[in-house]
Chains A and B, each alone.
Chain A
Amino acid sequence: MKKYIRITAMALCTLALSACVDNVPVEEELPQDAVSFNYRIDGDYSLDYYVGSVITFQNTSPTQGTPVWSFGDGTAAEGNSVEHFYKVAGTYQVKLTIGDYSKSQVIMISDIKPLLSINPIEGGLCEVRTTEVTFSLEVPNPQNLPLEYEWILPAGTTNAAGEAMTTSHDRLPGALKFGNVGSQTVRLRVKMDGRELEEGSVNVQVGYNEDVPTLYYAVQGGHIMAYKLIPNVPSGMNVSPFDMGLSSGQHPFNLLFKDSSLYILDCGKQFYYVNDEDGVLGDGKITVMSKDGSKVEMMLTNAGQAAFDDPFYGYIDGDYLYFANRNTGIMRVGLNERNAVFSHATYPYWVQHTTLGYYNNGYNYGAIGGCFGKVDGVWYWTKFYNGYGIYRFLESDILPAAITQGDDTNIPQSGWVLQGMRPKSFAYDKNNGKFYFTLHDAGYGGFYACTLADLETIGASKSKLAPFKKLSVDGKAFEPNTTGKPVTVEGSGDEVVAICQMTLDEATGCVYFGYRNTHNDATCAPSGIYRYNPQKDKIEPVIEGPLVYGLVVNNNPSKLF
């Protein structure tokens, strides 16, 4: 009986299995909008959509009926394929209606504008006062209307004969030399049959005649800029920044440089506390720009993940870029990685609060960090909230597992300095043994220079800071907070942007930083880029005006980049 039951059961199972049919999905036509259309320009200027260009609008709708077009400029037409041109530049909504259905799409019409370009330069580099530069010009002029030109040349421009030139009314200004270093903007105003077109311009990147370091900096709401650090600028020559054409992003607190690449750490829109309980407000990223700005790549993005995991501060050591989040720890990413998406699974903490013996024995949960990096082989990590100071450690001090309570046996031997003070950034010059740091404590905020031994002497005593505080040549301080009032309005009281990075010019020993005085506090220096000059023991203005976040020196000297 058992045997029969088994046989019957097996037979039924086999029957059942063989009865199964694998339903291969049938390929079907995908649905589309009832009304759809596209537009194009054939022939010349097909990408430009100039005023006057004939545009073909093509109905691609499945709906049958008479296509009725409204071009957004008060004109209309009927037909499956219609041609139209716009008389005035602007943005128009084109609407196609077939029966009861309709669809609108946007089209931007560009005004004719002069397109300037620089002709290839022999050797590929424009040197100040030396290299002759010529230009090409294209002014689309389908109706062959009369044109008038007005070139506006930057200060210091000369013609091939060495004669100063400020303007030219020729179609092309001939060969020019530029007397100043930096982006030199050549502008061209053109009137077409008496109507002034939008101004055209081109930036000539004018380098120096000798190899010098380059300072890169990120301007708030602006671009990544570059500036040649020329020790003794020749008389009559000005040095202006190069616009690298890359947006700085939201809050690029740190820039890093290695080999021929600039790394931009942008912690995104939100850099101070926000209730991100769903962990989705992150929008920070690390971008890599080639030193000449010609190539930009995404290294790592934190978009759509926890806001506090955005990359705030960074340091390059060996083949890794180490990056700190807001208030928990430091991760690292290989320098060659591109288009990576951050997750703690892929980029686990290299060190975090709870894997150093300082936890609850120096700093506490959620201690907010600033710049970090290595000084003489020892890691320095600034903390300016919930455990102030610079916490030092060796890689061997990192504990294998998180702790909940520090104990004296776990505290790194390197120790903790500037206890109770709020450092944000630092730099170290091993050539003169000077350690530079900034504080943003009200009444003590500013720029300091001391030796590593002095750092130990200062200890936890703010009263010992005074001899090391540095002022501008006109006696102004660089306090991020003045009697409790942040001179920068960005951020919360505990998380002001302050001086968020310092960088060393190894050739001169000068230390550069951006200072933001958005309240125009007269007791403090105005906003801009400054440098501490160890030869003069003073802080000098370098570029007045810009509100600067991160900055870094490429210490490999070059004429241009």
Chain B
Amino acid sequence: MKQSKFIMTMAATVLVLASCAKHDFFDEDTITGKVGPESYWEVGSAVVGAGNSMDFTAQYYSSASEIDHSEVWYDIEETVDKTVTCPWTVSFTYTQSSNVTDQKRVSQLIQKYAHSPELWSDSLHAFLLKGSFPVSGTLAPFEWKQPAEFDSTKMVQYFGATYMNEFKDAVHQRMKFADYRKMYIGMGKLDSFTQFTDSTEDKNQGVGIYVYHFPKDRVTGEEIIPYAIDSIWETIGFAELIENTAGGYYEVEYKRSYALNALLRVYDVRGVYGRTVSKKIDIN
């Protein structure tokens, strides 16, 4: 018993000695930078008007060095929503939409704030800074929505040079008899569709119930779109295709808006900074 206790004690000692060669894996595998000031902030709102200022309140302190100053930095991201709809079809609803968000300016210094010992708050045990930062008036949202007059220049500017042809082709590929009929009659391209109409009794639906279609090939049984129908299609412009005649506008929307991702950097006199969390702020 005595011997075993002795052995256990010695083993524990050896273990302790071995462990004293301190292996700090984090230290070995990471690079330790300088300790910067601790900082926290809240902005006045999640939205700000273009051309206005955003208020904020920040708290900061440093246990490593004296504070020098602080800075607001932000980047700009843009969101563009595009929607175009062809209101003339009945067998399908054709709408092309896209929503793309991209960074448009890298994070940049926006404003500097001087530090003063007078900012110290005994109750917070931190410096308390109340300030604001500006937002450019050029970043106001922009919208071109359901215009009463079609503007092909704007269409190209906002949607690209090839968009109108691509949209028309995409609609064309989906067009069926009922769509042509509604579209051509609605647009005034034809007074009557009778000459292009054939019908078949659909006994699954019931006796005397007919479905209407283009005349079919006698051999293959497939519908053939008459040449005249295709010819008329060639005369239809993109603007006609998206015109909502009942509403008196064109079914196109382009919306552009911006947001900024802002943070506060607090610098000490060594030039080392600590940063707050980033706040996303929509611009309206």
* A115: interface (CB < 8 Å): yes
Within 8 A of A (CB), among B113-154: 134-138, 141-142
- The 0/1 profile, CB within 8 Å of A marked 1, for residues 1-40 of chain B is 0100110011011001100101010010001111100000
Contacting pair B33 A28 (CB below 8 A):
yes
Q: Which of A25, A47, A117 contacts B136 (CB 8 A)?
A: A47
| Bound: A261/B220 CA distance, A | 67
Interface residues on A, range: 35 or more
* Given A13-B13, A115-B51, A245-B49: A49 touches B27 (CB 8 Å cut-off): no
Contacting pair B32 A27 (CB below 8 A):
yes
Contacting pair B13 A50 (CB below 8 A):
no
Least Cβ distance of A291 to chain B in Å? Answer: 13
Least Cβ distance of A247 to chain B in Å? Answer: 7
Least Cβ distance of B106 to chain A in Å? Answer: 5
Interface residues on B, range: 35 or more
Contacting pair B17 A16 (CB below 8 A):
yes
- The 0/1 profile, CB within 8 Å of B marked 1, for residues 32-72 of chain A is 00000011100000011110000000000000000000000
Contacting pair A5 B9 (CB below 8 A):
yes
Least Cβ distance of B88 to chain A in Å? Answer: 12
Contacting pair B106 A38 (CB below 8 A):
yes
* Given A27-B32, A115-B137: A40 touches B16 (CB 8 Å cut-off): no
Most B C-beta atoms less than 10 A away, residue of A1, A113, A247, A339: A247
* A110: interface (CB < 8 Å): yes
Q: Which residues of chain A have C-beta atoms less than 8 A from B110's C-beta? A: 47
Q: Which residues of chain B have C-beta atoms less than 8 A from A110's C-beta? A: 136, 138
Closest residue of chain B to A518, judged by CB? B93
Contacting pair B105 A108 (CB below 8 A):
yes
* Given A1-B2, A22-B22, A23-B22: A49 touches B16 (CB 8 Å cut-off): no
Q: Which residues of chain B have C-beta atoms less than 8 A from A246's C-beta? A: 47, 282, 284
Within 8 A of B (CB), among A111-151: 113, 115, 117, 138
Contacting pair B104 A91 (CB below 8 A):
yes
Summed over the interface, the residue pairs from A and B with CB atoms below 8 Å come to a total of 112
Least Cβ distance of B186 to chain A in Å? Answer: 14
Q: Which residues of chain B have C-beta atoms less than 8 A from A39's C-beta? A: 106, 108
* B46: interface (CB < 8 Å): yes
Contacting pair A296 B46 (CB below 8 A):
yes
| Bound: A478/B58 CA distance, A | 51
Within 8 A of B (CB), among A186-221: 198, 221
Q: Which residues of chain A have C-beta atoms less than 8 A from B49's C-beta? A: 245
| Bound: A301/B243 CA distance, A | 41
* Given A17-B16, A20-B22: A25 touches B109 (CB 8 Å cut-off): no
Closest residue of chain B to A111, judged by CB? B138
* B57: interface (CB < 8 Å): no
- The 10 A-B pairs at the shortest CB distance, nearest first, are namely A245-B284, A108-B104, A25-B32, A47-B136, A296-B46, A16-B16, A12-B13, A110-B138, A9-B9, A115-B137
Residues of B within 8 A of A (CB): 2, 5-6, 9-10, 12-13, 16-17, 20, 22, 24, 27, 31-35, 42, 44-47, 49, 51, 76, 78, 81, 102-106, 108-110, 134-138, 141-142, 282, 284
Apart from A48-B137, A297-B45: 12 A-B pairs, beta carbons within 8 A:
A16-B16, A25-B24, A25-B32, A26-B32, A27-B34, A28-B33, A30-B31, A47-B135, A108-B76, A108-B104, A296-B47, A296-B282
Interface CB pairs A-B, < 8 A, 18: A2-B2, A9-B12, A12-B10, A19-B20, A20-B22, A26-B32, A29-B33, A40-B109, A47-B135, A48-B136, A107-B106, A108-B104, A108-B105, A110-B136, A113-B138, A138-B137, A246-B47, A298-B46
